[in-house]
Amino acid sequence: MLDVDLTPLSPEALDIAREGVRRNGNGDGDGAMLSNELIEFMEVAVAREASDIHLVPGYPPTLRIHGQLRPIADAVLDADQTRSMVATLLPERLRASLSHAKNFDCSVSLPYRGTECRFRASLYLSQGSWCACLRHIPTEIPGLEWLGFPLELGERLVAHRNGLIILTGVTGSGKTSSLASLINLLRQDPTKRILTVEEPIEYLHPAGTGGIVTQREVGRDVDSFADGLKHGLRQDPDVILVGEIRDRETAQMAISAAETGHLIFTTLHTRDAKGALTRLVDIFPQDAQDDIRGQLAMSLRSVVCQHLLPAADEDERRILALEVLHANLAVQVAIRTGKIETIESAVQTGKRDGMWSLDDDLQRLLKVGKITLETARRFAKDPNSIVATTNAWE
C-alpha cells in the first residue's frame, strides 16, 4: 500500500482524469495508455514534491525527495510489472522497438489538481529487465531567483549577442531548469528568435507575447542534435539551445555557429568548469585540437558549473552552488595554448570580471546558513579552505 493519502480529487473526478491520461497521457501525443498503478505513483510523486520516480524490479517503487531515496510501498516490483509500465509509457511510434531496443527517452503528462504535470522518462534495461526513471518537470518555468541562480549572472549571460555559453554539472544538478529560466528571460525581448533542440522536450515555452520560440525534439521532430542544429541555422535564429553536446559533429557546428553570430546555449556533464573545456576539446582527434582550441578561445563566453547540495534544513529543497567562468583574456590564452590547468587560477584572479570558484560559493552559502559545514567541506575542492562562521550550521 502507498503511504500517503491521495484525496485531491473526488473519486468520480479521479476516474475521469485517469481515463483521460490512460488514453492521452503520453507527452509525445501518440495516445499512450498509462496503467492506473503508474498514474498513482506519478500522483504521489507530485504530491510529495519528488524530483524522480524509480521503478526497478526487486525494489519497491521509490521517490527521490530533496536528494534522498524514499520507498512509497512495502511490496517490491517484479519484472513483468515494470515491463508493463514501460510499455504504457512509450509513444506508439516507439512501442514496436521494445523487443530489441535497450534505452528510450520520452515525456509523459497527466492532469493533477487542475493542471498538467509532466515527466521526463528514461526507460532502460538492467540484467534483461525493464526499468524506468521518471523526472518530474514543474508545470511553470521557475524564475532564476527561485532556483538560487543569481539574476545578475543570468542577465549577463542572455545579454551576449553571440558566442557559446556552457552549463555543466553532474546529472541531476538542475541544468535543464536553469536553461529553461534563461530562455524564458531571453524571450522577454520580442526581437529574439529562439530555437531549442532537446531530447526530450521538458519545459514547454508556450506561444504568446515576446520572442518566437520553437522547440524540436530529437527522435520526433529531428533525427539528432547535429541535424537539428544544421537545419536550425536556416531558420533565422538569434539564439539556439542545444540540449547536450555528445559528438564531434554537434560540437563543431555549435562552435562554428557561435563564431558566426549566433548565441548558443548547451550543456555538458562534468564536475567543474575546467573539465567542461577539456571534455569539449577531447571530443576531437588530436590533430584537430589546436584549431578547435583557437575557435573555442574566440567563441566561448561563459561556463557555469552547477551543484545541488543538501540544505541545512533537511525538509527544504536542495541548494544551488555555482562555479562561474567568463572568457576574459587570461582564460582565452589558457584555452588557446592548451594550458587548461591554469583555468582555476584565472578564476581566482578574475573576481573583478564576475568569476567565482565553487569554494567561494560554498563559503557564501555556509555564511548565510543555507548549508552545513560538513556539506561545504564535502563538496569543496579544497576542504581546508572552508572555515566555520558564526551563522554556520554545524
Q: Domain of 237: which CATH number?
A: 3.40.50.300
Q: For the chain, how many structural domains are there in total?
A: 2
What confidence tens digit (pLDDT) does each residue in 262-300 have? 999 999 999 999 999 999 999 999 999 999 999 999 999
Whether 157 and 285 map to the same domain: the answer is yes
In this structure, is residue 320 part of a structural domain?
A: yes
Whether 149 and 267 map to the same domain: the answer is yes
In this structure, is residue 85 part of a structural domain?
A: yes
pLDDT of 17 above 80: no
Whether 153 and 118 map to the same domain: the answer is no
Task: Note the pTM of the prediction, 2 decimals.
Answer: 0.82
In this structure, is residue 363 part of a structural domain?
A: no
What local confidence, expressed as pLDDT, does residue 26 receive? 53
What confidence tens digit (pLDDT) does each residue in 211-233 have? 999 999 998 899 999 999 999 99
pLDDT of 8 above 60: no
What local confidence, expressed as pLDDT, does residue 83 receive? 92
Whether 249 and 198 map to the same domain: the answer is yes
In this structure, is residue 238 part of a structural domain?
A: yes
Whether 201 and 344 map to the same domain: the answer is yes
Whether 44 and 132 map to the same domain: the answer is yes
Whether 82 and 184 map to the same domain: the answer is no
Q: Domain of 114: which CATH number?
A: 3.30.450.90
Whether 150 and 123 map to the same domain: the answer is no
User: Of 87, 111, 137, which residue sits at a domain end?
Assistant: 137
Range of the domain at 186: 144-356
Q: What value does the mean pLDDT take over residues 305-323?
A: 94
In this structure, is residue 97 part of a structural domain?
A: yes
Whether 245 and 109 map to the same domain: the answer is no
Whether 62 and 131 map to the same domain: the answer is yes
What local confidence, expressed as pLDDT, does residue 391 receive? 57
Q: What value does the mean pLDDT take over residues 194-204?
A: 92
What confidence tens digit (pLDDT) does each residue in 68-101 have? 999 999 999 999 999 999 988 988 877 878 888 8
In this structure, is residue 377 part of a structural domain?
A: no
In this structure, is residue 392 part of a structural domain?
A: no
What local confidence, expressed as pLDDT, does residue 93 receive? 77
Whether 161 and 122 map to the same domain: the answer is no
Whether 35 and 116 map to the same domain: the answer is yes
Reported confidence tier of residue 32, pLDDT bands at 50, 70, 90: low
Q: What is the CA radius of gyration of the chain?
A: 22
User: Of 86, 115, 137, which residue sits at a domain end?
Assistant: 137
In this structure, is residue 386 part of a structural domain?
A: no
User: Of 137, 152, 176, which residue sits at a domain end?
Assistant: 137
